[in-house]
Structures are given as C-alpha cells and as structure tokens.
C-alpha cells in the first residue's frame, strides 16, 4: 500500500524547468529517503507535493489526487511538512508556534509526546522562536508537524547546519518518529539515512534515477556514483 504516488511530475519555476517527469512511490508506514546531489530538485519535489509550486502530472495521497489542490487542503488531508529552512515563525513564541500548528483542540497527548521528544521546547515555551538556536528551531519545526494526525511527513534536510550534538538529538527523535509514521525524508547525512530508511529514491537533474531498497547504501562504489560522495561516513 502506497501512501503517496507521484507520477510524471513536471514543475517549472518561472522560465526554468526544474522537475522532468518525476515518478516514485512512498510506501505506507515506512521511511523513504529521497537522495541526490545539491540542486537536483529534492526540495522542489517536496514543495510541489505540498502545493507550494504548481506542476503537471499526478500526485496521489492514499489514492486521492492532490495535485492542483490548495496547500492548506493538502495539509489538512494529512501531509505535514518540515521545510529545509525550518520556516518557524520567529516573531511568535515557541508556544504560539505550536498552538498555531495544532488543528485539534484535544491533543494533550500529542503535546506530551512532543515534550518527551524535545523537553527543551517545554522549558522554552515562552521564548520567541527567532531567538532559539538552529537546533532548537529545527525541533519546533518537527514538533509542529507532529502535533496533528498525519498520513505522511515530508522532512527536508533536518540536520543541515546543526552542531554534531544536535544532529544526534534530532536524528534520535526522527528514529523514534519513524516507527509510527510514513516519512519522505531528504537527508545528506548518510549515517542517519542508513539508520532509518527502508526505501531509497535517488534523483538527478530533475528526474528519479533509482528507487529500491537501502542495501546499496553500504556499497561505496554505488554511493559514489549515485550521490557523488564517498560512502560510509559523511
């Protein structure tokens, strides 16, 4: 059963043709890693799923067409988005960021889970989100997505630019979350990808060039060819 099915997705931003017939599936209740060099169109793919860019082709969520639907309806249908630049609301407090994101009034349990995952957010609830460190902002961005019941989580480079200690903390949180949800994860940190991914998609120049199991990630030659990085650690 696929939570998300993307078929022949073409997206132009202004004059530039960014996605050229992107096609892939995201199986339900699994973590799928979306990999590829910088600038191949991973973030554009997530934004297009979210309805933030318009395109042609087909994007189905649990069999329902969502391409062309307004962004807020896509989110209400259960697509949660943790963007690459976090995009937390810097002029709102941590609590206000979470209150805004929460679409369900009876979600005491959701808050409990989030504060278990990120205790810091509880202690810093009154602080302006703009004054948080990058790692804490990332926690707000992830927490925001976890407050609602979701069909799928789109997470774009959650460990980008974080200090090593925070990379571990965010990674651990994602591993915990990974057991309970469907996730499409864009991530450069191969160690983290190996820990969580059960399914791998590789993009190059606006196209999908591989979809399959995670076994290949242990093959340095494959990793080098597909991602242009040396395998193992990064």
Ligand X SMILES: Nc1ncnc2c1ncn2[C@@H]1O[C@H](COP(=O)(O)OP(=O)(O)O)[C@@H](O)[C@H]1O
Contact residues: ligand X, CB under 6 A: 13-14, 16, 18, 36, 38-44
- Cα–Cα distance list, 101 to 28, 69, 146 (Å): 23, 20, 9
Q: Does 50 bind another protein (CB under 8 A)?
A: yes
User: To the nearest whole angstrom, how small is the minimum distance from the Cβ of residue 113 to another protein?
Assistant: 18
Minimum distance from CB of 130 to ligand X (Å)?
A: 23
Instruction: State yes or no: residue 43 binds Mg ion (CB under 5 A).
Output: yes
Interaction between residue 91 and another protein (CB under 8 A):
yes
- 93 to 112: interface string for another protein, x by CB under 8 A: ---x--xxx-x---------
How many alpha carbons lie under 13 Å from residue 176 in its C-beta half-sphere?
14
Closer to another protein by CB, 136 or 189: give it.
136
Closest distance of CB 233 from Mg ion, Å: 21
Applying CB under 5 A, does 44 fall inside the site for Mg ion? Answer: no
CA 32, CA 184: separation in Å to the nearest integer? Answer: 5
Nearest alpha-carbon partner for 186 in 31, 9, 19: 31
Residue with tokens 């996730």: 183
* Nearest residue to 22 (alpha-carbon basis) of 216, 233, 210: 210
Tokens, residue 197: 């991914």
**How far, in Å, are 64, 66, 150 from residue 78 at the CA level?**
12, 11, 4
Specify whether the CB–CB gap between 214 and 23 falls below 8 A: no
Q: Mark the segment that binds another protein (CB under 8 A) among 10-18, 26-34, 70-78, 161-169.
A: 70-78
Q: Which residues would be at the binding site for another protein (CB under 8 A)?
A: 50-52, 70-73, 75-76, 81, 83, 85, 87, 89-92, 96, 99-101, 103, 144, 148
Which residues lie near Mg ion (CB under 5 A)?
43, 84
């Amino acid at each position: 059963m696929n939570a998300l099915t993307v078929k022949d997705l073409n997206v132009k931003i202004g004059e530039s043709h960014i996605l050229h017939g992107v096609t892939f599936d995201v199986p339900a209740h699994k973590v799928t890693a979306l990999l590829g060099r910088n600038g191949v169109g991973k973030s554009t793919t997530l934004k297009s799923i979210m309805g933030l860019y318009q395109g042609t082709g087909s994007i189905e969520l649990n069999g329902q067409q969502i391409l062309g639907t307004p962004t807020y309806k896509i989110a209400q249908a259960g697509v949660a988005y943790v963007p690459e630049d976090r995009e937390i609301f810097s002029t709102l407090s941590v609590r206000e960021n979470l209150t805004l994101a929460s679409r369900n009034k009876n979600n005491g349990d959701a808050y409990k889970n989030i504060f278990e995952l990120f205790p810091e957010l509880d202690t810093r609830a009154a602080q302006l989100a703009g004054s948080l460190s990058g790692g804490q902002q990332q926690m707000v961005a992830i927490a925001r997505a976890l407050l609602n019941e979701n069909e799928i989580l789109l997470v774009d480079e959650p460990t980008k630019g974080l200090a090593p200690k925070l990379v571990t903390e965010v990674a651990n949180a994602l591993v915990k979350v990974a057991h309970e949800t469907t996730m499409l994860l864009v991530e450069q940190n191969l160690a983290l990808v190996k820990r969580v991914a059960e399914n791998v998609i590789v993009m190059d120049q606006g196209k999908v060039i591989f979809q399959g199991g995670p076994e290949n990630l242990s093959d340095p030659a494959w990793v080098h060819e597909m991602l242009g990085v040396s395998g193992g650690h990064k």
